[in-house]
Amino acid sequence: MHALNALRMEKNTQSEEQMEKKGELAEDLAPIADQGVEAEENSNNSAEEGLDPFKKLQDDLSEAKDKYVRLYAEFDNHRRRTSKEKLELIQNANEQLIIALLPVVDDFERAEKSSSDPANSGIEGFLLIKNKLWKVLDQYGVKVMETGAGSDFDPDFHEAITQVPSPDESMKGKIVDVVEKGYLLNDKVIRFAKVVIGN
């Protein structure tokens, strides 16, 4: 019996030792297993990171393209706008000079109307000067507004200085008389026509 008990105790001792060895082995293998898990996680992360940098580069490229297209469009608009402004500046460079000359043209027309004798040599000289002046003005794009009695009033071209009772119903709200002619420089109003309106 003693031998049987001794065998059992020896077997228990051996199984306890084996258990301890297994526990120690498990403890020894735990860091290795952890390293394996970490390595697997790292490989998964690196695979994801491998996709992420590529996607990030694509996003950066598309963003840079978008910025480039917008910048190019802004530059093109700026170039067109400045070209148009330069052209307008060149076309209307003499605007102030021409505006200053318009009263001289008015004086010529008044002198022409006041002269009743067309055979007068003095008036012929005035007419020659007037025609020469008009050729110069026409060369620079100055035009007289076509405004006459019976025309519709347009505030974009006309300046109403007074209203008078209209001679008939058809003249209500229309131009009855033109006191001072209006002028255009390259289709831009440089002087509004001063008119009388019927009411």
pLDDT at 94 over 90: no
Q: Does residue 54 or residue 31 have the better pLDDT?
A: 54
What's the pTM? 0.50
pLDDT at 79 over 60: yes
pLDDT at 199 over 80: yes
DSSP string, 84-136: HHHHHHHHTTTHHHHHHHHHHHHHHHHHHHH---TT-HHHHHHHHHHHHHHHH
Whether 198 contacts 162, CB under 8 Å:
no
pLDDT at 3: 53
For 109-147, how does the pLDDT look when each residue is reduced to its tens digit (9 = 90+)? 877 777 766 566 567 777 788 888 888 888 888 899 988
One-letter amino acid identity for 193?
Answer: A
For 18-52, how does the pLDDT look when each residue is reduced to its tens digit (9 = 90+)? 656 655 655 655 555 455 545 455 555 544 455 68
Q: How far apart are CA 145 and CA 194, in angstroms?
A: 11
pLDDT at 174: 87
**Residue indicated by tokens 């199984």:** 15
The backbone region for 141, taken as left when phi is positive above 0, alpha when psi lies in -120 to 50, beta otherwise, is left
DSSP string, the chain: -HHHHHHHHHHHHHHHHHHHHHHHHHHHHHHHHHHHHHHHHHHHHHHHHHHHHHHHHHHHHHHHHHHHHHHHHHHHHHHHHHHHHHHHHHHTTTHHHHHHHHHHHHHHHHHHHH---TT-HHHHHHHHHHHHHHHHHHHTTEEE----TTPBP-TTTEEEEEEE--SSGGGBTBEEEEEE--EEETTEEEEPEEEEEE-
Under the banding of pLDDT at 50, 70 and 90, the label for residue 61 is: very high
Can you name the residues that pair with 144 across neighbouring β-strands?
183
pLDDT at 75: 94
